[in-house]
Structure formats: structure tokens, C-alpha cells
Structure 1
Amino acid sequence: MNNGLLTIGELKLQVSVLWTHSAWMFLLLLLLTDLNWLFEIIKWQNLASVEKKITFFEAYEQCFASLTASMITPNRIGEYGAKALFYKGPNRKNIMGLNLLGNLSQLVATSFFGVVGLVFFLTNFKVQTPKITIQYSLILIIIIVLVILFIRNDNFKKAKLFLRQISKKTYFLTLVLAVFRYLVFTHQFYFLIILFELNVDYFTAMYLIFSTYFIASVLPSLTIFDWVIKGSVAIFVFGFVEVNELTIVTITTFMYLLNFVIPAIIGSIFVFNYKPISNK
């Protein structure tokens, strides 16, 4: 709001320049979006089949419909309930556990590469780290207490017994697909950096992208405002290599449109045509 560069007019200018620069590049960006979601769909088909064998199209429908349903929920928590609605009552708890496993695998990939990127970021740039205050300490203590209570809950113990029955092959494939998906959308971000002709070398750009996604992943937000969070973090991170703020906002907006808005529009078709499944 306080930056004169970040206006709708300037954003439209950036988009028009990019389009006239190379129209076929947009097709490549869309293909990367397809590849990103292809890995997610296969990952969910692999996980859901532990409880009930499903086809690729069924996994496709469930992934996109649950994305649409989760857009207005904090940190996409609505996705758990949305996917469970595609199954009968007795299967729903296990389906929610499998969805949690899929999201945790993505978090593992984000955290692994994010820590690598953050180490590079902190060692190569003078970053003012936040001071540990009483408020931060209290929040940390509350989180630890809640985690302990959750672990001691009977439902968690039952879920843990169920997850132990899953084969190592399924766990391995889930993690591999999560890593592939992560590398696809982070390189999609890098590809946009190339298109906008930013003067940042590959390794530095990737470390900064890893840091951006890692920092953004720990911030609570609604999926519908995901671009705001990632855009703000990206402006902060890429500011250390003196990248134009408007360009970074444009890139994060494109990433949001490609990987969330377009799939959510597709998912809305499945949401509107959803037929409730009997619990029996």
C-alpha cells in the first residue's frame, strides 16, 4: 500500500511485456503446472489405495475438489474433510490419516531443501534475526504442550497403529513424489526469474526460493491469500540481491494463479457435481 511501484497498472504492464516477450513460454509454464499436479495426483492415488483402490481419475477429482474446498480454510485444513467425503464412513478416519501423511511428506521436502537454503541465506547475507522474547517463549511452550496432548490422544494412537501397517514401499514412493513435486514448482519459480531477466545466478536463486517457501510454510494463512504471504516473504528474501519488488510480486502472483487458482477452478466443477456418499 505504501510502495508506489506496486500498482495494478504496473502489474498489467509486466504481464503484457512478458506475454509479448515469448507467448510459447506460457505453454511451458502450464506444462510445469500439469507436471506439478500430476505428481500430487499419483501421490494421492498411491496413498488412498492403501485404504481403497482408486483410479487415476478418481484421485484427480479428489485432489482438485479438495483444493477448491480448502481455499477458505487456514493452512488448507479443509482438505482433510473434503477428501474424506469421497469415502464411506468407516474409511474416513484412515483417509484423513493418509492425507496427513501426504502433507507431511511435502512438508519434509520443503523443510529439507528449506533448511539448506536458509543456511546459505543466513551465512551469505546479513540478516537481522528476531530476538527471543517472553511472548515467543510462551507460544513455543503452548505448541509443545498441544503436541504432547495430541500424541497422548487415543485417536492418535489408533492412527499410529494404522500407519504402521503401511508398507515401506508406499512411504518411499510418497516421499519421492513429494520431492519431485517440490523441485518442479521451485524450478517453475526459477523459470519465471529467467523470463523476467533478473540478474541472479542459478544456485543463489534456488537457495533464495528454498528459503522463501520454507519461511512461508511456517506462517499461518488462508490458501486464498497464499500469494500475499509468499509475495511478502519473497520481497524480503530477494531484497538482499536487489531484485525489483514489483517483479517478485508478479512472479509470486503467477505462481499462485498457475498452481492454485487454475486447479481450483477445475476443482469447482467437481465440487458442484459432488454427490454425497452413504456412510453405510
Structure 2
Amino acid sequence: MSVPGSMPNMVSGFCTEWLFLPVMLRNKTIKIFLNYFLGPLLFVGLSVSIFQQIRQQPHLAKSWAEIKESFASVKAFYLGLAVALIFVNWGFESWKWKLLVGSVKPVKFFTAYKAVLSGVSFSVALPNRVGEYIGRMVYQPQGGRLKTISLAVVGGLAQLLTTMIFGVIGLIVLKKELLQAYPQLVIWFQFVLYGLLFVLTCAAFFYYNVGAVVSFFSRWLSSHHYLYLVEALKNFNAAFLSKILFLSSLRYGVFMLQYIILFHFFGVNVSVSSIMSVMSVVFLALAVIPSIALLEVGLRGEVSLKLMGLFSANSLGIGLTSVTVWTLNLVIPAIAGTLFLLNVKLLSKNGED
């Protein structure tokens, strides 16, 4: 699952695409290789990798048995609703991407949707979602692909801000339970909380002043050769950025709703308010801890068990929920993204398929 707040590593992503993409764009042989060999190879490789990850998940046999048994009851409706929310989740992300990339070149919603899912497929085996840049860039025309890096960073920052805001609220709400369970962490709790508030304040200031920051540095830099990569950010005003942040909040809400539904489906009888508080802290932890997407499910399950275990002894249900949400929001979109990549000209001139 794409964590609602995880943002690709800005520096490593920028350097990678900047160093290698201009070379690839000038090489017809590499164009043929990417268009007709890499797509199918990526599909096969990702499919095998995804299959191996699913097979190695803890409690997998019990998970399938539990799901099959639940289909015989009215709870099957909840699973179906959680599956349907996959499209809503990535729909909000695609809408956000459509608005962002529209500042460079207008795109259709379905094109944005395919670009987002293609980014998921690339990011499965790369750390910190770096691959999301590549997947989204292949749907842009030549000359405009590198410009989308800064747009992706802004979109990721909006999601990170959302995760941090609700995560801090969750930490405050759970303070009593956390310190009762882990009294040795009293000092660390205060340190982490105030540290997060400081980072959140700085991130919010940068986010809502990104245009001014770009304009300021453009005046002082001796060379403006690379400023075209961020020139679109100069036109981002508070109203536009608030809209992006609102869409990020809606997507966050979809993630939360999926967890509420699936905890009920797997028999974890915890109040909605407790689930929201716990999962907001889980999302926050996953957003700040570097990881590879395919390894995320283990970390997600461990953190969820520690925190949700404060309210429920149903460890199996908690673990099954974590695995199922991860599968729904990462595995299925990644497979769909590879299918889209089979039909796209990765280095086409117009960026549209």
C-alpha cells in the first residue's frame, strides 16, 4: 500500500532522472528497448516479485481461510466495500496529479489515473517510492518530463502534511495509553511530539510559500539553467495548494475507512475513534521510516499489532487487516499499472497513449 504520507526521496529521484533520462531520450536503440522489451519484462518481474511477497506473508493460509468463511456471512459486504474503495483512493490521487501536472500540460483524468498506477508498479521494488517519478513521467511529452518531478514533490508534501497533522493528533489522543504501556518512553514521547510539531510547522510554511521560495532563489542563483524544472511552482497560490491538501485529506480518509471496515470484517471489535487514533499514528510511523514498498507490509503489521494491541487481543484479525489493506492498495494497483505500461510508448513524443 502506498502510505498516505510517504514521499519519494526528492534528491535521489531528481539526480537519477536528470543524469540518465537525457541520454535515453537521444538514443533510438534504447527507445526501442524500453518500448518493446522493458514493459513486458517489468510486468513479468513485478508479477513474480508480488507473488513471492504474498506467499511469504505471515498467516497467509489463515487469511484466505478467514476470508472464505466471511463470504458466507453478511460481512462479505464489508470486504466488497473495501475493494471498491481502491478506485476511490487512487482516484483522489489521480485527480490531484491531474491538477498538478495541468500547470505544465493539461491531461485527461484517465491518463492521470494510468500514470499514477504506473508509478505504483515502478515503486514496488524501489526505496521511498522513487519509482513513482518514473511511472508518472512516461505519460508526459518529451521536454516536459523532468518538470513533473517538482510537481510530484509538492503532491507528496501535501500527503505528508496530512499524515503529520492527523498523526500528531493521534499521538496526543493516545498519550495516556501509550505512556501506561511504555512508561520508559515519557521523555521520548515529549521529544518526538515537539519535534514533529516543529517539522510540521516548517513543512507547512514551505508548502504554502513554495512559489515565493522558488522566486527568491531564482533571483540569487548565478545560473538559471535548471530553473525551468521548478518554474511551474511559481504560479501555485494558497487556494490551489489548499485544494491539493484537501484532496490529500480525502485520500487519507479513504485509507482510514478501509481500515475501519476491515477491522470489523476480521472481528477486531474496537471503537471507531480508537481505530482512527491508532491508525493515524501507524500512518505517521510508516511515513517517516524509510522502507521498500514490498517490505512495508511486515513493518505495517508490526506497528499495528503493538498499537492496536493496546485495545484488542485479536492479533490475528489485526494482522489480517494489515495484509489485506496492503494487498488491496499496492498489489492490485501495481499489477494494473504494469498492464497499462504494456500499451504505452515510454518515450513517445506526445506522452499520450
Tell me what 1:271 maps to: 341
Tell me what 2:261 maps to: 191
Aligned pairs for 1:173-188 (under 5 A) are 173-188=243-258
Q: Does 1:94 align with 2:147?
A: yes
d(CA) in 2 for partners of 1:222, 1:13: 28
SS of equivalent to 2:281: helix
d(CA) in 1 for partners of 2:313, 2:119: 35
Tell me what 1:84 maps to: 137
Correspondent of 1:74 among 105, 120, 127: 127
Indicate conservation of the 8 Å contact 2:266/2:320, yes or no.
Answer: no
Tell me what 2:95 maps to: 42
Correspondent of 2:185 among 126, 129, 133: 129
Tell me what 2:71 maps to: 19
d(CA) in 2 for partners of 1:222, 1:113: 23
Q: Does 1:108 align with 2:161?
A: yes
Moved more, 159-168 or 173-182: 159-168
Amino acid at match of 1:28: L
Tell me what 1:145 maps to: none
Indicate conservation of the 8 Å contact 2:267/2:317, yes or no.
Answer: no
What displacement does 1:66 show?
A: 1.1
Give the TM-score normalised by structure 2: 0.67
d(CA) in 2 for partners of 1:12, 1:84: 37
Amino acid at match of 1:129: L
Indicate conservation of the 8 Å contact 2:278/2:308, yes or no.
Answer: yes
Moved more, 270-279 or 104-113: 270-279
Q: Does 1:245 align with 2:315?
A: yes
The 3 A distance-change label for structure 1 pair 12 and 35 is same
d(CA) in 1 for partners of 2:305, 2:270: 14
Tell me what 1:142 maps to: none
Sequence identity (%): 27
Amino acid at match of 1:74: P
Tell me what 1:221 maps to: 291
For structure 1, list consecutive stretches of 5 or more residues without a partner in the other structure. Answer: 1-5, 133-150
Tell me what 1:58 maps to: 111
SS of equivalent to 1:88: coil
The 3 A distance-change label for structure 1 pair 188 and 8 is closer
What displacement does 1:223 show?
A: 1.1
d(CA) in 2 for partners of 1:74, 1:227: 14
d(CA) in 2 for partners of 1:88, 1:8: 42
Moved more, 39-48 or 83-92: 83-92
- The Cα RMSD (Å) is 2.6
What displacement does 1:278 show?
A: 4.7
Tell me what 2:196 maps to: none
Indicate conservation of the 8 Å contact 1:40/1:181, yes or no.
Answer: yes
Tell me what 2:324 maps to: 254
Alignment length, in residue pairs?
257
The 3 A distance-change label for structure 1 pair 89 and 182 is same
Q: Does 1:234 align with 2:304?
A: yes
The 3 A distance-change label for structure 1 pair 243 and 164 is farther
The 3 A distance-change label for structure 1 pair 119 and 160 is farther
